Structure 1
Amino acid sequence: MTAEQMMEYLYGLPEQFVGSLKLDLAFVSRYKKEYRNIVVSGMGGSAIGGDILRVYAANKTPIPVLVVRDYNIPAFVDQNTLFLAVSYSGNTEETLSAYSQAREKGASIICITTGGKLKAMAEQDGYEVVEIPSGLVPRAATGCLFAPLALLLDELGIIEGVYQELQETVEVLQGMREQLHPGVEAGRNQARVIAGKLKDSLPVIWGTAGISEVAALRWKAQINENAKCPAYYSIFPELNHNEIVGFEVPQELLASISCIILRDKYDNERVKRRIEISKDIIKDQVKEIIEVNSQGESYLARFYSLVYIGDYASVYLALEYGINPTPVKVIDYLKAQLA
């Protein structure tokens, strides 16, 4: 597994959405009912789609969406729950445990996976499976892992407009990749410029609640997995009630921080003001302040435009350190030790 493979995965993200738009979801008619809640179960790269869905659906439906990253599920899960089990490999032990508990509680279950034990269990138990393309690493399959979730809710009549937003997302990302791929020289490649600034620093990513909060989490996780270095994230306006106080000492550590601020034209006006004040507070304490603006009009296009720059920047950061971004040996070691 090479760095070139990861670049190919990134370049192919728009086509993941194109493929998802062609999915046959006719089976959802058997799942149509009045749900009280929606629970998405997943871990790591397979859970990020649930996080996106949670924020995306919050302004589109009164039905709450919860993401479970654990072996156990909440006590409220019952026959009125739509339970979406997501595991790229189909063998994630936490998700398999959560699936079994949801089955025992009588939830309506749909699985999104490439196969594995999850597919086998669902087929044996009579639940539907949305089978997605294999051959990727989970963190590079965000289009395959998110889009089916949103499209399912659209087909169920829980939210609407998903197809149109995904189509715009494809157009925006196709335009962006021509400016971000390795063939674009460093000075004109925003992701490469960001990676150069992040090298030898501690990345701290700031997003905004309800808009870019999951994009900030995604940046953090991608830097962790691809560049193999620590990164942290926080969310406005909450960070103005705690984290912003912590920029006094130790000065040596603060001087190594690069703060990435994810911005969106639809950020709350008060949050926009908070961002400007916060920048002024930390500007003399940190190494860099890097602002990244979203592109597009719909929520999904704007969200994924922020994610896409971060995905590319994390891979370029790995290359800055001379690291192959694709393997995750520590995770493989953990799984082997737990086996």
Structure 2
Amino acid sequence: MPDLAFEPERLDDVDHLERTDPGGVLREVASSAARVRMAQRAAAEAGVDRLAREGRPRAIVVAGVGPGALAGDMLAAVCGYGVPVAIATVRSPVLPGWVGAADLVMAVSRSGAEEETVALAAEAGRRGCGLLAVGRRGSPLEDVTLRARGIFVPVPAYDGPPATVWDLTVPLVVATGALGLVRGVPEACEAAARRLEEVAHRCRPASESFINPGKSLALELADTVPVIWGSYPLTAAAARRFAGALHTHARYPAIWGELPEAGHTQIATLDGPVAEKDIFAEGPGRTLRLVLLRDTDENPRTVRCREAATRIAEERGVPVSVIDAEGVHPLERLAVLVGLCDFGSVYLALGYGMDPARMAAIAEFQAGATQ
């Protein structure tokens, strides 16, 4: 692979953006609001309200890998600490031994063909668990779910690699709303969609970098190693999504974590060799950049941790970016963070002249892992 250099002027060259993004990843990210509304409608049409007939489960187990598992993290973030039901995400191919007939398993796989997720759904059916699945029509996951008399929510087919996670996450949120675990879900979905529309307008390709928050974020991240921290469960889920989007869209390394835990481990990297920038080196050089995702619903202890991390980074000359959540409902605030970070990751790829839809290594791994 040739040496790739980030060229800031590319971000304001609309022709370049179109040429380098033949799969339309920017358009896909801009359609996030539509994806939220479509997913809400698909969940309702699939009859997720039937879950309420079985009563509240002892626990909700979200089974998946990659974006499917992330949907579980985002669900837990929306539900928050006060939810009276345990919510666990399982990323392994084995269903924990404690999961039984009193629990609800949500199996999430966009393709519906990931072996790990299909196997977990089948095991959930054998154990008599409640089963809700999200995936592609005609897939092995749909077959397993229907044989277990579960509820299947279909996701739309994509021409290229999907760039958002809303089609996987929103059905889970709608389901927990039907169970009475999250209040005001229909209104929250619409509020989140409106926020995503606002983000898409501000981050549109024709908007120049100095007023475009998605392009500005890409400019800040270029030639750095981002260390992305959330300071609350909601922002931690967004941080994980941001790191994953940087990996897939821009093939870019990133570290994510959650305060206060990150302050006891990852913060040590601020004293390491990557954090030291050589002022005599030609070009921009490479250094860490601390990215803090901030929520309005934070306790005083969390605020002190975030402020301490900011001070320590600034004292060591490590640049800091802060991204604030906006909105009332947790789903709405999550939408603001994820929407902006998705645009930032795509613009970073385009600034390096890379097609954000090209995921050769992931495809090779998936092919090799299923042989």
Alignment TM-score, normalising by the size of structure 1? 0.94
| Counterpart pick for 2:107 among 85, 92, 99 | 85
Is the Cα–Cα contact under 8 Å of residues 135 and 154 in structure 2 kept in the other structure?
A: yes
Which residue in 2 is equivalent to 1:123? 146
The answer to whether structure 1 residue 55 and structure 2 residue 74 are counterparts is no
Is the Cα–Cα contact under 8 Å of residues 45 and 139 in structure 1 kept in the other structure?
A: no
Superposition pairs of residues 129-144 of structure 1, within 5 angstroms: 129-135=152-158, 140-144=163-167
Taking a change above 3 Å as real, the CA distance of residues 60 and 133 of structure 1, as seen in their structure-2 partners, is farther
Looking at structure 2, the residues matched to 133 and 85 of structure 1 have their Cα atoms a distance apart, in angstroms, of 17
Looking at structure 2, the residues matched to 260 and 82 of structure 1 have their Cα atoms a distance apart, in angstroms, of 35
CA-atom RMSD, angstroms? 2.0
Looking at structure 2, the residues matched to 28 and 165 of structure 1 have their Cα atoms a distance apart, in angstroms, of 17
Which segment is superposed worse, 179-188 or 278-287? 278-287
The answer to whether structure 1 residue 33 and structure 2 residue 55 are counterparts is yes
Is the Cα–Cα contact under 8 Å of residues 25 and 155 in structure 1 kept in the other structure?
A: no
Is the Cα–Cα contact under 8 Å of residues 58 and 65 in structure 1 kept in the other structure?
A: no
The answer to whether structure 1 residue 231 and structure 2 residue 261 are counterparts is no
Looking at structure 1, the residues matched to 271 and 181 of structure 2 have their Cα atoms a distance apart, in angstroms, of 47
C-alpha displacement at 1:251, in angstroms? Answer: 5.6
Which residue in 1 is equivalent to 2:87? 65
Looking at structure 1, the residues matched to 36 and 156 of structure 2 have their Cα atoms a distance apart, in angstroms, of 12
Which residue in 2 is equivalent to 1:212? 235
Is the Cα–Cα contact under 8 Å of residues 259 and 286 in structure 1 kept in the other structure?
A: no
Identity of aligned residues (%): 25
Which ranges of structure 1 fall in alignment gaps of 5 or more residues? none
Is the Cα–Cα contact under 8 Å of residues 211 and 267 in structure 1 kept in the other structure?
A: no
Is the Cα–Cα contact under 8 Å of residues 122 and 145 in structure 2 kept in the other structure?
A: no
Which residue in 2 is equivalent to 1:328? 359
Is the Cα–Cα contact under 8 Å of residues 247 and 285 in structure 1 kept in the other structure?
A: yes
Looking at structure 2, the residues matched to 235 and 196 of structure 1 have their Cα atoms a distance apart, in angstroms, of 24
C-alpha displacement at 1:244, in angstroms? Answer: 2.4
The residue identity in structure 2 corresponding to 1:32 is E
Alignment TM-score, normalising by the size of structure 2? 0.86
Looking at structure 2, the residues matched to 138 and 164 of structure 1 have their Cα atoms a distance apart, in angstroms, of 29
Taking a change above 3 Å as real, the CA distance of residues 60 and 248 of structure 1, as seen in their structure-2 partners, is closer
Is the Cα–Cα contact under 8 Å of residues 46 and 139 in structure 1 kept in the other structure?
A: no
Which ranges of structure 2 fall in alignment gaps of 5 or more residues? 1-19, 278-285
Looking at structure 2, the residues matched to 180 and 4 of structure 1 have their Cα atoms a distance apart, in angstroms, of 18
Which residue in 2 is equivalent to 1:43? 65
Is the Cα–Cα contact under 8 Å of residues 58 and 85 in structure 2 kept in the other structure?
A: yes
Higher relative contact order (CA 8 A, sep 6+): 2
Which residue in 2 is equivalent to 1:201? 224
Looking at structure 1, the residues matched to 359 and 71 of structure 2 have their Cα atoms a distance apart, in angstroms, of 20
Taking a change above 3 Å as real, the CA distance of residues 212 and 192 of structure 1, as seen in their structure-2 partners, is same
1:23-82 deviation line (CA, Å, top 9, x unaligned): 324364265224111101111112211111112223452110101111101111111010
